[in-house]
Structure formats: C-alpha cells, structure tokens
Amino acid sequence: MSTEQVRTARKNGLLIVALANPDGNRMNRAVLRGLQEALTQARKPDVRAVLVRAEGAVFSLGADVHEMLSEPGDAMVSIIREYIELIQAIEALPLPTIAAVHGVCSSGGLEFALAFDHLWAAAGTKIGFLEPLLAIFPLAGGVQRVASRAGRARALEIATVGALYDVETFEKWNIVNRVFPADAFESESEAFATRLAAGPTKAYDAVKAILRTWEKEGVTAADRTTLEMVGPVMASNDATAAIKSFVATGPSRSPRVFAGT
C-alpha cells in the first residue's frame, strides 16, 4: 500500500515506510497524511516492527517552508500540532521502531527521525536544525527530544546555531545510535529491523514503558513499572515459548555482536 509521497511494504512482520517526495522528502501535507496512514498500518496486530527510510538523495530537508508560510497563523499551528501528535503516536507504538537516514536529515526531518527508538545513519550524512536561519526554532519537539538523548547543553547548541553536523558527531553525542558505511547501510538497517520484528515485542514494549517512567519520575518509579510488567510479559506467548525452548535445547537465537565505536 502507498500514497504518492509515502510508500509502505510488508516483509516478515516488518512494516517498511519510505518517504518518496521528490522535493527533498520535505514534510508537506501530503507526506503528513501518508505518514498518518502508515501509522494506522503499524497498529495492526501482524506488524511487529517498523522501519522508516527514504527514496532519493536525502532522507528529508524538513518542512515545506513555502507551504508553511502560505498558511495563516491558526492553520499553521494546527498543522504543527498534527505533526507533534504523529511523533507522539510513533513514540507510543508498543513495538520496535527504526529510522534509517542518509544524505541530509534536517529540521522537521530530524524531528520525525527522533520519534523512532533507533536512529541509524549512513556514513557522511549531514544532520541538524536549520530553523535559526529563518529566525525560528524547531517547531515540532526537536529541542526536547535531542535533550532527552544528549542533554540540555547539546540541545541548546544544536537548536540555536543553525548548522548541519557530521552524523558521526551525533553518534558520539548519543543522538544517533549507529553509523554504517553507505554501501552496507540499507542492508544492515533492514536486517536489524527484521531481527527486532522476529523478537519478543511484549518484552520490548515493557522496556519502553520502563524508560518512559524513568524519564518522567526516576528510578524508583521505574522499579514499580518493572514489577507491573513482569506478570504480563512472563505470561506472553513469546516468553512461554522461548523459555520452553531454552530449557529443552538452549537459546533459540544467537546474540548479535556489534563492533564498538
């Protein structure tokens, strides 16, 4: 299934979402609608992980400024609210999500990518917020989402200097999870997403719930969430089958080893 500017495909429990707007994959109304439709698909019970990537030379150059500036104030705020709600809905998905970016990932495109659990990038990607060049700030929650990954000082710098950074810098600052050579990037990110799709989604959702509590209320509150999640996860089909298999024959999957950076 696809719209003109957002394409989707299914593969072994993995929903692959591709931005396909020839205008730099800018976030316009059509792209927003396509992403909302993709989110509806992501909520279906047979989807176990989501991978977003982009066609063309860049992941996304951000919002369509011409379209945005043509809107009266109230309508522009309404569109930005829709965009933030989309980002929040992606964050709330009870399954693994991965954004795989390349070329350039800037402004609203970066805010979108930050909604995903895992942010992977091709080596050489340029990434950052360019809103200060228009005398504005990241409008869709990018400031606080960078801060949650990299801290207040990094967020303040990135959101105010109006520059693109080497993605390797963002990896060092813990904003990007992994950087891969461009020729291996697509296959590595899809293999990782497929592995997550084959994994225990209930346990994954529990980890996300624990981290959400920890961000808001700290370690002690996260301990309470942990205890709340023990029963449902241990009773899940994923856990009962995996534990039974482990007792009989050992672990059903070998651990993946990543090279350190």
Residue-wise pLDDT tens digits, 207-257: 989 999 998 999 999 999 999 989 888 888 777 777 776 677 766 565 555
Q: What is the pLDDT of residue 1?
A: 46
Handedness of CA 134, 137, 141, 146 (dihedral sign): positive
Are the C-beta atoms of residues 41 and 92 closer than 8 Å to each other?
no
pLDDT in tens, 173-187: 999 999 999 999 999
At position 159, the amino acid (one-letter code) is A
Q: From residue 32, give the alpha-carbon distance in Å to each of 69, 79, 112, 170, 202.
A: 17, 9, 10, 26, 28
pLDDT tens for residues 5-19? Answer: 999 999 989 999 999
Nearest Cα neighbor of 99 from 178, 207, 3 is 178
User: For the whole model, what pTM was predicted?
Assistant: 0.89
Distance CA(116)–CA(113), nearest Å, equals: 6
| CA distance linking residue 107 with residue 104, whole number of Å | 10
> Which listed CATH number (3.90.226.10, 3.30.390.30, 3.50.50.60, 3.40.50.1820) goes with 6-197?
3.90.226.10
Question: For tokens 């980002």, what's the residue?
Answer: 87
Query: What residue segments make up the domains of the chain, in order of their start?
Result: 6-197, 201-249
Tokens of 47: 């989807």
Please tell me whether residue 150 adopts helix, strand or coil conformation.
helix
State the burial class of residue 213 (Cβ atoms within 10 Å of its Cβ: 0-12, 13-18, 19+): buried
